[in-house]
Structure 1
Amino acid sequence: MKFFVVLNAKNLKQYSFILVMALCSALFLFLQNSLHTPVFSTEDGPKAVYKGEKNIAITFNIGWGDEKAGPILETLKKENIQSATFFLSGSWAERHPDLVAQIVKEGYEIGLLGYNYKDYSDLEDEEIIRDISKAQEIFTKMNVKNIELLRAPTGHFDKRLLKISERFGLTVVHWSVDSKDWTNPGVDQIVKNVTSKAHKGDIILLHASDAAKQTNKALPILLDELRQRNLAFVTVSEMISNSSAQSEEIQ
């Protein structure tokens, strides 16, 4: 009986040591994630940012449509949101110069969403280069300057896009919280999709294309809930500036 007790005491010490080491490792990983800007990257350097260190970035994709972007801009103004990032396809911007001008006037940041809103993972390198180049030409003609951000039109990308974007001097931006507003799951669900996951440093994906029919109604509610958490709204560029980065290799 004594031998049985001693044996279990040894096992208990071993298990306690393993548990302590596991907790230390978890704490180390948590601190790493809290203090650095997570990125996707290739082995040799180019990166795609999807999360920052503090505050929160609201981003909107616009690929097509005539009806939803204007009301969303009005809602942001009414809610006194002075910092947001709009990723615009060149073809949409070309057809809606007045809305692009309004985005610029309100002081919001503009990033590229390509030109034709095609899935870059399905395109050859030269096709991707032409699409980005055409989008840049459109915004240059519209006198929209200093665009430094690129988002893959459908969200799908690989290491080829990271390397191509680096050649253009662009940073690829993904997201850490997906509202899934384009599926029109209901206002309450859109709010829940965001607020149940959003914390400091998150980049939130929303849409101002016509397919996202419920986003504008959900926007004031989710903005209010995020404000109650003392989260300040910043542009993506403001979020990622002056931050170190941890990398996760992407194929």
Structure 2
Amino acid sequence: MKFFYSFKGYRFKHYVIILVAALFSSILLYVEKDQLAVFSTDQGPRAIDSVETKEKKVALTFDISWGEKRAIPILNLLKKYKINETTFFLSGSWAERHPEIVERIAKDGHEIGNLGFQYEHYTNLETDQISKDIQLSDVVLKELTNKKPTLLRPPNGSFDERVLTVAEKFNYTVVHWSVNSEDWKNPGTDQIVKNVVKKTEGGDIVLFHASDSAKQTEKALPQIIEHFQKEGFRFVTVSELIANSETKSEEIK
């Protein structure tokens, strides 16, 4: 994400610089594109949004927290294009209600990550509540897939130092994204395609949704997939994308 400002007047510029510095020292810190970590504590846990790489590989990710109408059509579409290396982040409460879809996701070869249990903003919860929510979802997903998830996407992508610390305690890597399709807004198929293909480069993690609220994702995916295939991109899971990658991060206090 890049911002460009042009101001006149020393005093105004001085205050703007102070304001921007304060803002970026207290909230999620974005770093330059193609760096592995977007947020970290001093010598501690980190969150990842992209990977620095010269290879044409990209990680498609799908969040699901409610509904059953969108997931299967998206899975069918991915299968049609012979894509079985994407990452689905599932909320535990949703997974409990739809074990057959969870089984299908795993059977098709896609990676499954933890999206929390109740899909509540972690930054609004107490630390012990965050721990409980992650653990509840962890148990559900492990029981349904016979495999402990290792990737955590905090609900709505909101996290702070506490979330990173708790995630590390349970051996999770926090995964954000570098490209947002904004499909949950249902802005139209063409806009979703534009949001993705014009911003995505090798090493990016792309955010999609497969909940019922995202009504246009399935229609946009064919154009997106065909674009990447034409450009020679390879689709990989988040775990494969970040494996053996060099970390470059900024400290948040």
Equivalent residue number for residue 17 of structure 1: none
Tell me how far 1:43 sits from its aligned partner.
1.7
Partner amino acid, structure 2, of 1:183: K
Counterpart for residue 200 of structure 1: 202
Change beyond 3 A, Cα 1:34–1:159 = closer
Per the alignment, residue 141 of structure 1 pairs with: 143
CA contact (8 A) 1:52 1:240 kept: yes
Q: Which amino acid aligns with 1:213?
A: K
Asked if structure 1 preserves the Cα contact closer than 8 Å seen for 2:58 and 2:241, the reply is yes
The aligned residue for residue 71 of structure 1 is: 73
Counterpart residue number, 1:223: 225
Paired residues for 1:132-171 under 5 Å: 132-171=134-173
Paired letter, 1:167: K
Shift of 1:146: 3.3
Distance 2:252 2:72 in 1: 36
Decide whether aligned partners of structure 1 residues 34 and 62 sit closer, same or farther in structure 2, where only a CA change above 3 A counts. Answer: closer
- Return the offset for 1:33: 6.0
156 and 33 in structure 1: CA distance in 2 versus 1, 3 angstrom threshold:
closer
Question: Is the 8 Å Cα contact of residues 184 and 214 (structure 2) preserved in structure 1?
Answer: yes
Task: Give 5+ residue unaligned stretches, structure 2.
Answer: 1-30
- Tell me what 1:210 maps to: 212
Aligned to 1:7: none
* Cα separation, 2, equivalents of 1:243 and 1:133: 27
Aligned equivalents of 2:115 and 2:155: distance in 1? 5
Segments ≥4 residues shifted beyond 4 Å: 32-36
8 Å Cα contact 1:62/1:208 also seen in 2: yes
Taking the aligned partners of 2:121 and 2:32, their CA distance within structure 1 comes to: 30
- Could you tell me which amino acid in structure 2 is paired with residue 215 of structure 1? T
Task: State the superposition RMSD in angstroms.
Answer: 1.5
Change (3 A) 1:228 1:33: farther
Aligned residues, how many? 220
Q: What percent of counterpart residues are identical?
A: 51
Per-residue displacement from partner, 1:43-96 (whole Å, max 9, x unpaired)?
231010100134100000001011000100000000111210000000010001
1:97-136 matched pairs, under 5 angstroms: 97-136=99-138
By how many angstroms is 1:144 displaced?
3.3
1:94/1:41 Cα in 2 relative to 1: closer, same or farther (>3 Å)? same
Which amino acid is the alignment partner of residue 194 of structure 1?
Answer: V
Which ranges of structure 1 fall in alignment gaps of 5 or more residues? 1-31
Residues 171 and 186 of structure 1: CA distance in aligned 2, closer, same or farther (over 3 Å) = same
Give 3-state SS (helix, strand or coil) of 2:47's partner.
strand
In structure 2, the residue matched to 1:249 is: 251
Q: 237, 242, 245: which one pairs with 1:235?
A: 237
TM-score (norm 1): 0.84
Aligned partners of 2:50, 2:37: CA distance in 1, in Å?
Answer: 6
One-letter amino acid matched to 2:45: P
Quick one: distance in 1 between partners of 2:148 and 2:139?
Answer: 13
Deviation per residue, 1:116-166 (Å, 9 max, x gap): 000001000000001011101112222430310000111111011110000
* Counterpart Cα distance in 2 of 1:130 and 1:178: 28
Task: State whether residues 53 and 239 of structure 1, in contact with CA within 8 Å, keep that contact through their aligned partners in structure 2.
Answer: no
* Paired position in structure 2 for 1:6: none
8 Å Cα contact 1:67/1:210 also seen in 2 = yes
